[in-house]
Chains A and B, each alone.
Chain A
Amino acid sequence: MTSFSRILAIMGKEFIQMLRDRLTFGMMVGIPVMQLLLFGYAINTDPRHLPTLVEMGDNGPASRAITQAMETSEYFDLIGLTTSAEETESALQSGDVLFVVTIPPNFERDLLRGDRPQILLDADASDPVAAGAGAGAFPTLVQEALAPMLGEMHPPVETVIHRRFNPAGRTALNIVPGLLGVILTMTMAMMTSMALTREAERGTLETLLATPTRPHEVMIGKITPYVFVGSIQVAILLTGARLLFGVPFLGSPLAFLAAVSLFILVNLSLGFLFSTVARSQMQAMQMTFFIFLPSILLSGFMFPFAGMPAWAQTLGQALPTTHFIHAVRSIMLKGAGFQDVIHDIWPLAVIFAVIATLAMLRYRRTLD
């Protein structure tokens, strides 16, 4: 016979246990709030205000009408002028800008003569979504900007769009290197935090603490095996990316190695830090999830980083995954070398130093 009072008893007990586990309860409330805010405010699949450089070969009224129109369209944020092809190249490669507009010399003269001068838009298409809208709107934008000057003359200019790094606009090229960051974030942080929390949960931590073992010996000893696991994951993903999706690897392997090693270390020490806070493996997993979500949403993995509002970008900058994904995309897809990704490497190093210090400070030498 079904006993209502027994069901009530179990329900009551379940609620009590739920409320006792503060962290879990916090996550139950925190995760929906975080999701709501991130999806609602930060994520933008129609990104605007994308950083753009202009190479002004001509400074006439027509050129200025075009740049004016680009600003007004909100797709482009003209952040500066460039004079050399080299500068243009490195700006695109490092990901500082998503677009470079080149207005050729004598543009105005050729235009008025009806010679149909070319105007060039270099778009960083490694993320097809980010570049897509701006590049799509560009030809119309130019025509409309010039219309008042030229009346109904037939196509007075030829807009040429170079979709750089990913001419076919394949999303796989962008996603696969990003996956590297997301998977490492997930597994590395989770595995270490759980492996360490397990010791506390099973009581073996007391045995460990009762021996003369030093904290850094525990940290290095526990973390190193997972460096190997991480390396295997990287190898699998790189091989799969090449064989199944034809993702190129154009840049410097050395820069890649530096970025990957540092990133693995960051996540392992993050896991170590979690384990000093979490009281059970369950809590350790929840904490990993709490960092994993923004790492997917705010890192530029799923949604264009440049399209997010400033506050979300700042938040994203604090996440190691953001820098790692950015660096790996530049290296794999754009052929970047160490110099091009140094501005992603040093933030990773800083984040690592901060997390590792915190973890060592929090690691308990005693059972207090």
Chain B
Amino acid sequence: MSEALAIDVQGLTKRFGDKTVVDDFSMQVPRGKIYGFLGPNGSGKTTTIRMMCGLLKPDAGGGTALGHDIVHESREIKSRVGYMTQKFSLYGDLTVRENLTFMARLHALKNTKSVVNAALEEYALAPRANQLADTLSGGWKQRLALAAASMHDPGLLLLDEPTAGVDPKARRDFWDRIRVLARKGVTVLVSTHYMDEAVQCDNIAFIAYGRKLIDAPSADIPERVGLITWRIEGKGLQPIYDALHGADGVDQIARFGSALHVSGRDADRLERAIAPYRGQDGLIVEKAKTGLEEAFIWLMTGSEDNFQ
């Protein structure tokens, strides 16, 4: 296959009852990229992913995944896509090995045994091969699920909040594995809530209330949002926080460790707002680069205003 796009969907719309969960969603994911899919809870990420792999039929719109029509060729898609559900959904009463063997056979893989053994080795699951899946900890469950979703060498991985509720170390391991897969040429679409994970994505699409708000290379996102940020560092920040919160020109204020990040869209008004603190003893006030985190907090709050 030589299409340049792993996912190419237009106008996807899904309604449950009278609630529009996904509204006119379009997206192009180039091959071999790690694409981050961000948005608050209930913004339609899971529904969108399910439509892309043929688990849900869109009410309107359509497109292709790996060159196959997502409405009419869902079987072809299912055999070439690895999908990891948000909730652990392998068989808790089967062992790790039994789960992998089962999935390998559903995908009609040849040499099931050696494929499963290879996956056990690759994901360091071998020592737990005979353990029941239910007795694994959260991190190991996710690792097993990723192994199960990638055993059939899918060209596209759809990961729905794969690291939710997993400890930081397990999350780092998990991302190492995602990058290994991406280097092999697998396209990855991963939804997440974590900023440190979003930063690792090549591109980011932000969705809220069923609509895509922004879709850009992750490095470009802060600029796209159009925020200017000042950083105030020093002691006794709480009174400053209280004073600046909601002040004219200040659109957003957030604490980052021992510093305040004060952001606004209007450079002049923002400068006027923080002017009283410049030059104060014990305070370092300087212009800073707007980071991804500020951008996302801004998008999150903004999206509520826009759609409520």
Query: Which residue from B57, B81, B89 sits with its C-beta under 8 Å from A206?
Result: B89
Chain A residues 309-368 with CB under 8 Å of chain B are 365-368
- Per-residue interface assignment for chain B, residues 131 to 158, with 1 indicating a CB less than 8 Å from any chain A CB and 0 otherwise: 0000000000000000010000000000
- B265 at interface by CB-CB < 8 Å: no
A212 touches B79 (CB 8 A): yes
A204 touches B78 (CB 8 A): no
- B87 at interface by CB-CB < 8 Å: yes
Q: How far is the CA of A365 from the CA of B55 in the complex (A)?
A: 8
A367 touches B50 (CB 8 A): yes
Q: Chain A's nearest CB lies how many Å from the CB of B242? A: 38
Query: Which residue from A212, A367, A368 sits with its C-beta under 8 Å from B78?
Result: A212
Interface size class of A (residues with CB under 8 A): 10 to 19
Residue of B nearest to A209 (CB): B55
A366 touches B103 (CB 8 A): no
Chain B residues 21-76 with CB under 8 Å of chain A are 50, 53-57, 74-76
Query: Which residue from B81, B89, B106 sits with its C-beta under 8 Å from A213?
Result: B106
- B287 at interface by CB-CB < 8 Å: no
Asked if A366 meets B55 with Cβ closer than 8 Å, knowing A210-B83, A211-B106, the reply is: yes
Chain A residues, Cβ within 8 Å of B81: 210
Chain A residues 162-219 with CB under 8 Å of chain B are 202-204, 206-214
Query: Which residue from A202, A212, A367 sits with its C-beta under 8 Å from B55?
Result: A367
- B91 at interface by CB-CB < 8 Å: yes
Q: Chain A's nearest CB lies how many Å from the CB of B53? A: 6
Query: Which residue from A203, A214, A366 sits with its C-beta under 8 Å from B54?
Result: A366
Q: Interface on chain A toward B: helix, strand, loop, or mixed SS?
A: loop
Residue of A nearest to B106 (CB): A211
Query: Which residue from A207, A366, A368 sits with its C-beta under 8 Å from B89?
Result: A207
- B90 at interface by CB-CB < 8 Å: yes
Query: Which residue from B76, B87, B107 sits with its C-beta under 8 Å from A211?
Result: B107
- B92 at interface by CB-CB < 8 Å: yes
- Per-residue interface assignment for chain B, residues 78 to 102, with 1 indicating a CB less than 8 Å from any chain A CB and 0 otherwise: 1101010101111110000000000
Q: How far is the CA of A206 from the CA of B107 in the complex (A)?
A: 15
Residue of B nearest to A205 (CB): B89
Seen from chain B, the residues whose Cβ lies within 8 Å of a Cβ on chain A are 50, 53-57, 74-76, 78-79, 81, 83, 85, 87-92, 103, 106-108, 148
Task: Sample 18 A-B pairs with CB under 8 A, ordered by A number.
Answer: A203-B87, A203-B88, A204-B89, A204-B91, A206-B55, A206-B89, A210-B53, A210-B78, A210-B81, A210-B85, A211-B79, A212-B78, A212-B106, A213-B106, A214-B75, A366-B55, A366-B57, A367-B55
Additional pairs, 7, CB under 8 Å, beyond known A211-B106, A211-B107:
A202-B89, A204-B91, A207-B90, A210-B78, A211-B103, A366-B56, A368-B57
